[in-house]
Structure 1
Amino acid sequence: MTLRKLVTVTEEIVTEAGAPATSPTRRAAAAAVITNPWAGRGLVGDLGPEAARTAPLLAQRLTRALEAALGGRIAAFGKAAIVGLDGEIEHGAALIHTPYFGNILRELVDGTSIVVFSDERGPAGTALTVPVWHKTAAATRSHYQTVQVRVPDAPRGDEIVVIAAAASGPRPHARIGDRTTDPAVSLDILEDLESV
């Protein structure tokens, strides 16, 4: 793996709708810009060996960067990849959608949920919105958030930007309930509503 740069973005939400957040939420993303190990090799039949060598190291490095950015307080997580134009979307998938990345990230932050994701292929400067949700209770809507990541000079055609994202807590003033306590809703409710 050739790492060209590591980029970390953070934000802290202190007020929302004119009201102070009861507990300011910090969001962060750590992005590793690496050379695509499969670029220029045609259709590689088995992406597994390179993923097994590369993805665990990326997961560890990016998780450590997230922990530093959030002071060790990770309540929600997500992952993503942006593949340069000379690569396949499958190259990004090989690095983030296998146990070599997700299991390491999950274990490092004491998570149990499936790690939510996004991926894209594009030129340098492509922005990607990375979703995050609760690390142990994916049905907890208060932690459904996103972090936008854009590296102005990456990915180059033969690069991949691999991203881990996290939040220290819920959205400010979260108040839409929880999937585990939702009422049963079906198409039948449309009969009682006015059409739009």
Structure 2
Amino acid sequence: MTVQFRKLTTIVEEVALEGGKEVSPAARIAIVAAVIANPWADQGFVEDLGPGIAEVASDLGALLAPRVAEALGAPIEAYGKAAIVGLGGEIEHGSALIHTLSFGNHFRNVASATTLLPAVEKRGPAGIVFDIPLKHITDATIRSHHQTIEVRISDAPHSNEIVVALAGAAQGRPQQRLAAFNPDEK
């Protein structure tokens, strides 16, 4: 099956100046979001989400992951994901699509990653603002790569839709200067 989407949005943010100081090379984050029909819309409470997951999740991951890498144009060092469910659905519908290896492993493979993908899930109206958390692709304790990117798709999600997005960064935060993680720190 090929994922059917109403809209596919790609955003590339490039920060060249942070704190009054040049960022060189510029810090880049790419986001690719697909606006899809909620596979469980208009069905009432669905006890078994498995068939919808099997039908959509893997193809959705396969669609988004390589597009993030292509838009970023550099190796991915930090990554994250999001599912924003329209008001006619349940938060669990978004979670069902993004919290499965059949979805996430596409991004892990593209990024040569080993850590869990940080995520945000929420329900809201079209145009809702959401933040995608990002962490390092192989070591979640690397503080420099803990960051978020704000996203908004002006006309999505409709009530019976889900926005599913992946984000990748080519580096940590611009001008990061915190000490390395120390588990003994108080």
Q: Which amino acid letter does the alignment assign opposite residue 91 of structure 1?
A: H
Matched, 1:184 2:185: yes
- Could you tell me how far 1:12 is from its partner in structure 2? 0.6
In structure 2, what is the Cα distance between the partners aligned to 1:138 and 1:24?
Answer: 23
Matches within 5 A, 1:36-185: 36-179=38-181, 181-185=182-186
Equivalent residue of 2:6, what SS? Answer: strand
- Could you tell me how far 1:53 is from its partner in structure 2? 2.1
Equivalent residue of 2:109, what SS? Answer: helix
In structure 2, what is the Cα distance between the partners aligned to 1:22 and 1:9?
Answer: 20
- The one-character-per-residue Cα deviations of 1:31-86 (angstroms, maximum 9, x if unpaired) are 00000010000111111121122111111211121112111421110000100011
Structure 1, unmatched stretches of 5+, are: 186-196
Pair 24,182 (structure 1): closer, same or farther in 2 beyond 3 Å: farther
- Could you tell me how far 1:119 is from its partner in structure 2? 1.0
- Could you tell me how far 1:18 is from its partner in structure 2? 0.9
How many correspondences in the alignment?
184
Q: Which amino acid letter does the alignment assign opposite residue 104 of structure 2?
A: G
Q: What TM-score do you get using the length of structure 1 for normalisation? A: 0.90
Note if contact 1:56-1:100 (Cα within 8 Å) is conserved in structure 2. Answer: yes
Q: Which amino acid letter does the alignment assign opposite residue 143 of structure 1?
A: H
Taking only aligned residues, the RMSD between alpha carbons, in angstroms, comes to 1.2
Quote the residue 2:22 is aligned against.
Answer: 20
Q: Which amino acid letter does the alignment assign opposite residue 166 of structure 1?
A: G
In structure 2, what is the Cα distance between the partners aligned to 1:103 and 1:83?
Answer: 22
Structure 2, unmatched stretches of 5+, are: none
Larger CA Rg, structure 1 vs 2: 1
Report sequence identity in percent. 46
